[in-house]
Structure 1
Amino acid sequence: MKRNLDLTSRRGFLKTAGALTAAGATGALGLASIPGRANAAPATFSHPGGLHNAGDINRAKVKVAAGEDPWRSGWNRLIANSHSQPSWTPRPQATVYRGGSDPQNYGILYNDIAAAYQNALRWHIQGVAAHGDCARDILNAWSSTLTSIKGNADRFLAVGIYGWQFANVGELMRGYPGFDLGRFQNMMRTVFYPMNDDFLYGGDDGVSHNGACITNYWANWDLCNMASVMAIGILCDDGPMFDRAVNYFRNGAGNGSIRNAVPFVYDSQGLAQWQESGRDQGHTMMGMGQMGAICEMAWNQGVDLYGADSNRFMKAAQYVAKYNLGEDVPFTKYTWGSGTNCAYNEQTTISSSSRGQLRPVWAMLDSHYRRRRNLSVPYIQRMAQAVHPEGGGGDYGSTSGGFDQLGFGTLMYSK
C-alpha cells in the first residue's frame, strides 16, 4: 500500500517545494532514484548536526562550567567512565567480525567508538586538547586501517550500530586539527554505507534483508542501518543519502519503517505497541534508542520524524515506558513471516523478559516531547528520571548491549 509522505518540518510548518533540496537522481555513490521518494535533505547541512547541534554543546558547556544540575551530574558520570580518559589507546583492525566462525573482534570497535565519543564530548565541553587529540587519534587510526566488516547476518548489525555511532563522532570532530575528515568520510562511504544500503534496499542485486522474508528481521536491524545511512549522509553532506534514510523511515517495506515498527495504535490511551514488545524488553529498549537517534539527527537537519504519523513514535515510547515501569498495557496479536519462505509466527502476549531494564535512551525522548514540544509524556518522563543521570558505553555492562547507545543524554539533552 502506498503511503502518504509526511513533510512536516521540525518547526511545525510544512516544508514547501522551494525549501526542499532538489536532490538529483544519483549522488556520489550512484544512488538510484526511488519512486515516491521524499526529498527532505536541507539545501545546506548544519554542522555539527548529528545527535548534537551547536546549541546542545554550548548549553552543556555553560551549565557544566556553572556547576548546575542536572548537567553537573551528567558530567560527573562522563568523567568517571574509563572510556573518557585521554590515555585510551585505539586498537584498529583491518577486518571486523561480528557473528560466524571467525574470531569475534567487534568488541574492540565498539569500545574504541565509545572512547572516541566520550573524549569528543569532554573536549567540546571543557576544551582540554588531550581529549580532542585522543578522539582524533582513534578516528584516524581506524580510517587508516579498516577495510571490511564480515561475519554471519550479524555483520549487518555491526555496520548499522557502529556506523551511525562512528559517523556521529566524526561529525563532532569535524575541523579538529589533524583530523583526516576526508579519509574518515571515505571509510564510512566504502566500508559501512554499501552494506547499510544493501540490507535496506538490496544494493546492486535488489535482494534486501540478507535474502530473507521482508518481515524476518526485527525492527532494530532496519533502524540501525537507517541511522547509519542518515549519519553518513550528514557527515558527507550527501543529500540523496540523507533522503534515502528519511524515505525508508516513512515508507520502507521492512520492520523499521514507522508504521511497521509501531504496528498498533491505541489512540484513546495515547499508546502504541512496539514491534519487538512480544520478543523481550531489552531489544524493545534498544529500539527506543535507535529510532530516537534517527529522529534526533533528522530534527537537527530540519526534518521532523519525531512527529510522523501524529506522534506515532511518542505513543510507542509511552507504551514501552509504561510497561517497563511495571504497569499494564494492551497487546494485539502480532504475526510475521520468517526465514526465506516467510514461515508463519505469532505472539499473543507481551514479553516480560528483561522488563525494567535501564538503558540510556530516555533523556533524548523526554527532552524532545516534554521540553521542546511541551507535550504530556508522564511515562517517558518517569523513565528518564529512573535512568538519571545517564551514562554511556562501559556503564551498562561489557557486552554489546551496553554499547548499543552512545548515551550521556542527561548531559547533552537536558533543557
Structure 2
Amino acid sequence: MSRTSPHHSIPTGELSRRGLLKTAGGLTAAVALGAASATTTANAAPATFTHPGMLHNAGDINRAKVRVAAGDDPWLSGWNRLTANSHSQPTWTPNPQATVYRGSGYPENYGILYNDIAAAYQNALRSVVGGTSANADCAVRILNAWANTLTSIQGTADRFLAAGIYGWEFCQAAELMRGYAGFDLTAFQQMMLNVFYPMNNDFLTHHNGACITHYWANWDLCTMASVLAIGILTDNAAMYDQAVTYFKTGAGNGSLQHAVPFLHPNVDGYDLGQWQESGRDQGHTVMGMGQMGAICEMAWNQGDDLYSYDSRRFFKAAQYVAKYNLGNDVPFTTYTWGSGTNCAQNSQTVISPASRGQIRPVWAMLHFHYNRRLYLDDKYISAMYDNLVAPEGGGGDYGSTSGGYDQLGFGTLMYAK
C-alpha cells in the first residue's frame, strides 16, 4: 500500500471499557444464526450482549423520556424535531421490495428502502421515548414487511454501499423494537443474515476485486457498522469481533489508521487528524464522522471504547473535520493511494473545499461523548454542533437524496447530557 509516511504503531495492552465494567469472561460461541469468516480478536465481544445496545442504551432512552416529559431543553427541542418529521407519523405505509437496486444502469429503487428505514427508526424512537403504541405498531409493520419481502440487493458496486448503510441503520429500529408484541425478530434477523451480512462480509474480504486502497473510507465504515450491528442484533460474537478487529487492524481505508492517515499535533493548541477523504470533498468527509461515530457508539454500549482507541485518533480527526468545515484553515499532507485493479497511483495535494460546511446530523453524538462523558475540550466539534446543527433532525430534514439519509440523526434528543 502506497503511503507518504509510514504506518503508525498501535498501542498494545489497552484496557477496554468492557474490561472495567463487566466481569471477566470468554467469548460466547457464535450463535447458530451465522458466523463471521474473518479472524477474530480474543475478548472483543462481550460475554453477554446488552440490549438495547446499539446507538441507544436503556439509560439514553430513560433520560430522553424523563427530560421530554418534564419539558426540558434541549431534549424537548430535539423531540419537537422528531415529531414534526413526516417519517415519524404512525400513518406511514411501508413499501417493501423483493429486490433493491442501487447503481447506474439499473431500475434504482433504493430510495424506497432508506425512506422506510427512516420511518421505522423514527416511529420506534417515538414509541420508546413517548410511550405511544401507535408509533410502535407502525415501526413493527415496516420491519415485518421488509423482513418477509426483501431477498436481494443488486446493482453496480454501489450495491455494497446500500448493504452497508441500510444494513446498520435498519438494525437500529429492530433493536429498539426488540421484544415488542408482534415484531417477528427471528424473521428480521434472518433477513439481515441472508441478505445484508453476506454482502458486507464479501466487501470487507474482497473489496469488489479492486486494489485494497481503491474504495474510500466510507465504503469500509458503513460495511463495518452493518457487521457490528448485525452481530449485536443476533448475539453473534464472531461478527462483533470481525467488525472490531477490522476497525483496529483492517487493511482497507475504513480501519482507524487508514481513515486517519496523518496526525498534525499542536495546531493552535489542538491535536488534529487528517481524514482520508478530506482531499475528495467535505460531504463524504462529514459522512465519515457519522459512520465511524456509529461504530464507536455501538461498541461503547457493548463495553468497548473505540472512541479512545489509538490515543483518541478519531477525536483528533473529528476536530480536524469540524475546524475546516467551520471555515478555518487546517494543515494537509499529500495523500497517495492506489486505485483500480492494478493499484494505479493517485495523489491529492490540497484539501478539497467541495461541499464545505455541509450540515449533517453527526455532531451531537461526538460532542456529547467527548465533551460530556470524557470532559475533553472539543472546541471545534462543539462549535460545529452548537452553532450550525443543534437541535439535530434526521432523515427527511436534510434533503430528499440519499445523503440526507446516510445517518439517522436526532442526537440532541438522545445524547444531550
Amino acid at match of 1:389: P
SS at match of 2:266: helix
In the TM superposition, what is the alpha-carbon distance from 1:7 to its structure 2 partner? 4.5
Partner of 2:16: 9
Q: Which residue of 1 aligns with 2:216?
A: 218
Superposition map of 1:3-402 within 5 A: 7-10=14-17, 19-23=24-28, 28-32=33-37, 34=39, 37-201=41-205, 208-269=206-267, 270-385=271-386, 386-402=388-404
8 Å Cα contact 2:217-2:259 kept in structure 1? yes
Instruction: Report how far residue 247 of structure 1 moved.
Output: 0.1
1:213-248 deviation per Cα after TM superposition (whole angstroms, max 9, x unaligned): 000000000000000000000000011110000000
Distance 1:324 1:250 in 2: 27
Unpaired segments of 5 or more residues in structure 2?
1-6
In the alignment, the residues of structure 1 paired with residue 183 and residue 352 of structure 2 have an alpha-carbon distance, to the nearest angstrom, of 45
Q: Is the 8 A contact 1:98 1:155 kept in 2?
A: yes
Shift of residue 24 of structure 1?
5.1
**What amino acid is aligned across from residue 230 of structure 2 in structure 1?**
I
Could you say which residue in structure 1 is the equivalent of 2:3? Answer: none
CA distance in 2, matches of 1:8, 1:105: 45
Distance 1:358 1:3 in 2: 32
For 1:351, the aligned partner's letter is S
Asked if the contact 2:253–2:276 (Cα under 8 Å) also holds between the matched residues in 1, the reply is: yes
Letter in 2 for 1:396: Y
Contact 2:49–2:232 under 8 Å retained in 1 = yes
Shift of 1:265: 0.7
TM-score normalised over the length of structure 1: 0.95
Report deviation, 1:6. Answer: 6.1
User: Does the 8 A contact of 1:25 with 1:33 survive in 2?
Assistant: no
Task: Kindly provide the CA deviation profile for residues 6-33 of structure 1, in whole angstroms up to 9, marking residues without a partner as x.
Answer: 643237x6799x7253355897424336
1:276 and 1:284 in contact (8 A); partners too: yes
Deviation at 1:266, TM superposition (A): 1.4
Contact 1:8 1:15 in 2 (8 A): no
Query: AA paired with 1:314?
Result: F
Q: CA–CA distance in 2 between the matches of 1:301 and 1:397? A: 33
In structure 2, do the counterparts of structure 1 residues 102 and 297 end up closer, same or farther at CA, with 3 Å as the change threshold? same
What SS does the corresponding residue of 1:266 show, helix, strand or coil? strand
What is the alpha-carbon distance in structure 2 between the residues aligned to residue 229 and residue 377 of structure 1?
29
> Mind listing any 5+ residue stretches in structure 1 that lack a counterpart?
202-207
Root-mean-square deviation (Å): 1.7
CA deviations on 1:99-118 (whole Å, 9 max, x unpaired) are: 03221000000000000000
Would the aligned equivalents of 1:81 and 1:395 in 2 still touch at CA under 8 Å? yes
Q: Structure 1 residues 6, 396: closer, same or farther in 2, change over 3 A?
A: farther
Q: CA deviation at 1:168?
A: 1.1
Letter in 1 for 2:416: S
The runs of 4+ residues in structure 1 deviating greater than 6 Å are 13-16
Residue type of the partner of 1:250? K
Kindly provide the CA deviation profile for residues 368-393 of structure 1, in whole angstroms up to 9, marking residues without a partner as x: 00000011101000111120010000
CA distance in 2, matches of 1:240, 1:135: 29
How far apart in 1 are the matches of 2:21 and 2:341? 40
**3-state SS, counterpart of residue 337 of structure 2:** strand
- Count of residue correspondences: 406
Residue range with higher mean Cα deviation, 126-135 or 38-47: 38-47
